[in-house]
Structure 1
Amino acid sequence: MSQTDMQEQLPITILADSRFSSSLKPLLTQLEMWINFQALKADWFGDEACILSFEFTLVRTIEEQVQDFKSENWVVKSGYAYSYDCKSLKTTAFIAVADLLESGVGIEQGIKQRLLDVANSVGAEHGLLGLSL
């Protein structure tokens, strides 16, 4: 099985905006494996009729995406924004990284926290166990 096939089967994917360097790819893969493992440990994939999927995209700032948020039902918080479609069980989310770089917070830790914040907000609607660092 190629890595591409394996990634397509994961319910939680993490991409980066096209303006980011391709050198981020190993970090994106690591984060994707990490969050899918957290969800697996918390039994998020136990009920095949209710498997949530997430498509995260790392962006420099949330403000750059603002025009998208007015057209749909978006939840916008400090550092991230997401839209959850209850029919398809799919969440589309943007995670900002510029403010993490500026604040001196460990960027990987900061991204993980934002991924969890979004996932747990949606997961709570389905009574799923919260994911943690």
Structure 2
Amino acid sequence: MQQFPMTISAAGNFSDSLKPLLAELEMWLNFQALKADWYSNEAHVLQFNFSLVRSLTDAMAQQTRETDSSSWVVAGGYAYLFEPKNLHTKAYIAVEDLLKSGTGIEREIKTRLLAVANAVAAEHDLLRLSL
């Protein structure tokens, strides 16, 4: 089975009950990119690995030990690192603040996924994805 260019997983401290939601979000995001013709040039397909994390603080602390954290873009509820040599983006989507608010969690996760994808896509003249 071929893997999607955009994958979504959850940090180890999340319940396995999230797997159906992660699969749904992954299919939705890849479908949005397909509709926007992001995959037409097979030599230039952006790859994204999203990971839902409780907080960016914990995720970024781990990254500081592994990579140069100054290369990361950190914004409202997400952080990402784009690697131009292989068109790969590693991203964290924080959910702790969303869980506390308790409303519209799925929509807000989608908004953060799109914010990362669109920020990287803008550098490659690709159409913006939307909800």
Q: Which amino acid aligns with 2:42?
A: E
RMSD: 1.1
Q: Pairwise mapping of residues 10-29 of structure 1 onto structure 2 (< 5 A)?
A: 10-29=4-23
Matched, 1:71 2:88: no
Matched, 1:32 2:26: yes
Aligned length: 127
Taking structure 2 as the reference length, what is the TM-score of the superposition? Answer: 0.93
In the TM superposition, what is the alpha-carbon distance from 1:71 to its structure 2 partner? 1.8
Ranges in structure 1 where 5+ consecutive residues have no aligned partner: none
Range that drifts further, 74-83 or 101-110:
101-110
- 3-state SS, counterpart of residue 130 of structure 1: coil
Ranges in structure 2 where 5+ consecutive residues have no aligned partner: none
Q: Which residue of 2 aligns with 1:61?
A: 55
Matched, 1:43 2:37: yes
Distance 1:66 1:125 in 2: 24
Matched, 1:87 2:82: no
In the TM superposition, what is the alpha-carbon distance from 1:101 to its structure 2 partner? 1.2
Equivalent position to 1:99, from 97, 100, 106? 97
